[in-house]
Amino acid sequence: MPPDFRGLRVLLFQCPQAGASADRIVRLGGVAVEAPDPAIEASRRDEWAQAILSARADLVLFHRPDQVPALVGAGADRLLDAFRGTGIGSFDPETSAALRQAGLTPDHEADPSEPEDWIRELARRGRDLLERKRRSRALGVDTNRWRRIDAAWEAGPGREHRAGRADSPFLRACRREATPYTPVWIMRQAGRYQREYRDLRSRVPFVDLCRNPELAAEVTLMAVDRLGVDAAILFSDILTVLEPMGIPVRFDRADGPGIDRPIRTEADWRGLPEPDAAGLEFVYAAVRLARRALRPDLPLIGFAGAPFTVASYVVEGGRSHRFENAKTMMFHAPDLWDRILGRLARLIAEYLNRQIQAGADAVQLFDSWAGCLAPDDYRRFVLPHTRRLIGSLSGPAPVIHFATGNPALLELLREAGGDVIGLDWRVDLGQARRRLGDGVAVMGNLDPVVLLAPPQEIRRQVGRILEKAEGRPGHVFNLGHGILPQTPPGHVSALVDAVHELSAR
């Protein structure tokens, strides 16, 4: 499934950048309609406004800010109305600002760090973005002034089609059923590697981003728009769940989230309230908003931190390399440790069940720090709580159980539960499948650093992992951990394309 405009008519205005763009549009299967620059040839403005009014253009590309008022001024209200069903591409943030000032929302903006990839990215995503825009317009959405979360796909109740999504490649792979290609999504697929996300974070503190349902849902949809992945994952944080426990978390530290009053003694623990996951309604609202705006056939993944990883934050007060405080409690105060993990397991189970009720089609349990444990210690101090949590999850939503850092725990992770076991990059995928057996799917497991390599090397490494998967049902492609902040966005798109193309059956 290489990038392909598939016959879309793309209108662009002649300027120094446009010639190369037109050539690429044609090579990628589109029809390039070159128009005189409206900012220069004022006499032709009405002609090109009419091309949009008569729907002879599916996409209109703006390379410079001054092209916007020059063209939009020619058609006034009629032209603005026509743009409600026409895709709009913007070459840079300045042009996007001019479009918004004129009353238009760009559907796709080039990444300034990779302007040469703009046309390729439009070929990858243009048809899907155009379909969303036209279907939303038909349902009464003002697609000139809208956000991703305003998208509408079908009218009336029942529009979520949970049963229909069950046949998606991602959910079929979770159930170890045959798929037309290997589905792929990526941990931290919405995050700091994206300029749009960084711009948003420069205006909104992280904790507010997580607590505002509209913003959290918008970020959730951001990665789907750009990447064309086979599942969306809710934007949130694994420590959000601590709020109803009365444990405040600070997200303003350079070294990650921090807890000013960690729980290390019986006295610290005594008096904390029995938590109620109903207090996290802002998360469930974000799930509902994201689910409503996503394509009806695209699954949404909810998630939470696993009891051990969340407890480690609570006891350590933040990130740790040796986990001395958490391990000291395990060995010296095992009863207190069990009570902390027991309470967390109950809370997290209710939290995930409420995400499923709100519209999550699958859930992932992140045990990011479990790799610090010896197998015997995991079995004694962690496994019973994780197993109880996973056993408490209701409904058909598959559970992805992901831990990092210790391949020796694989069999124990399966024993703890989950329909899919996530693998980090330090284990051979083929060997891991043999160790886990046939009754569970796997997810992974490309080293995130590979995405810093050239696209041809990314493609080679993708092929290597797909070979180890042997085309057998039950493989979801992912990284072995989250996308690194310095990753070029185009390399992430190249990964998604490589997985889809090389695994097509």
Could you tell me the pLDDT band of residue 502, with boundaries at 50, 70 and 90?
Answer: very high
- The pLDDT of residue 312 is 97
pLDDT tens figures, 92-113? 999 999 999 999 999 999 987 7
- Can 192 be counted among the known catalytic residues? yes
Cα–Cα distance, 142 to 150 (Å, whole number): 9
pLDDT tens figures, 392-412? 998 899 999 999 988 999 999
Q: Is the C-alpha dihedral spanning 362, 366, 370, 371 positive or negative?
A: positive
- The pLDDT of residue 159 is 46
Q: Point out the least confidently predicted range of 29-38, 42-51, 327-336.
A: 42-51
- What the chain holds in terms of domains, given with CATH numbers, is 9-146 (3.40.50.10090), 179-503 (3.20.20.210)
Could you tell me the pLDDT band of residue 41, with boundaries at 50, 70 and 90?
Answer: low
Q: Write down the pTM of the prediction.
A: 0.94
Which element (helix H / strand E) includes 469? helix 455-469
pLDDT tens figures, 308-331? 999 999 999 998 889 999 999 999
- The pLDDT of residue 74 is 52
pLDDT tens figures, 190-218? 999 999 999 999 999 999 999 999 999 99
Joined together, the tokens standing for residue 154 give 């079908």
Q: Of the residues 27, 162, 192, 388, which is catalytic?
A: 192
Q: Of the residues 100, 201, 379, 387, which is catalytic?
A: 201
Scanning the structure block, which residue is given the tokens 């934007």?
235
Interhelix angle for 334-358 vs 307-316, to 10°? 120
Query: pLDDT higher for 4 or 1?
Result: 4
Q: Of the residues 107, 237, 361, 367, which is catalytic?
A: 237
Task: Look over the chain and give the mean of its residue pLDDT values, rounded to a whole number.
Answer: 92
Burial class from Cβ neighbours inside 10 Å (0-12, 13-18, 19+) for residue 162 reads middle
Q: What angle do CA 411, 414, 415 make, to 5 degrees?
A: 85
Three-state DSSP state, 300: strand
pLDDT tens figures, 459-478? 999 999 999 999 999 999 99
- Can 188 be counted among the known catalytic residues? yes
Percent of the chain with pLDDT over 70: 93
Q: Of the residues 181, 313, 351, 378, which is catalytic?
A: 313
- The pLDDT of residue 112 is 75
- The pLDDT of residue 56 is 77
- Can 295 be counted among the known catalytic residues? no
Check if the beta carbon of residue 56 is closer than 8 Å to that of residue 7: no
Q: Of the residues 127, 137, 172, 188, which is catalytic?
A: 188
CA 497 vs CA 45, 257, 456, 459: distances in Å: 38, 34, 12, 9
pLDDT tens figures, 418-453? 999 999 999 999 999 999 999 999 999 999 999 999
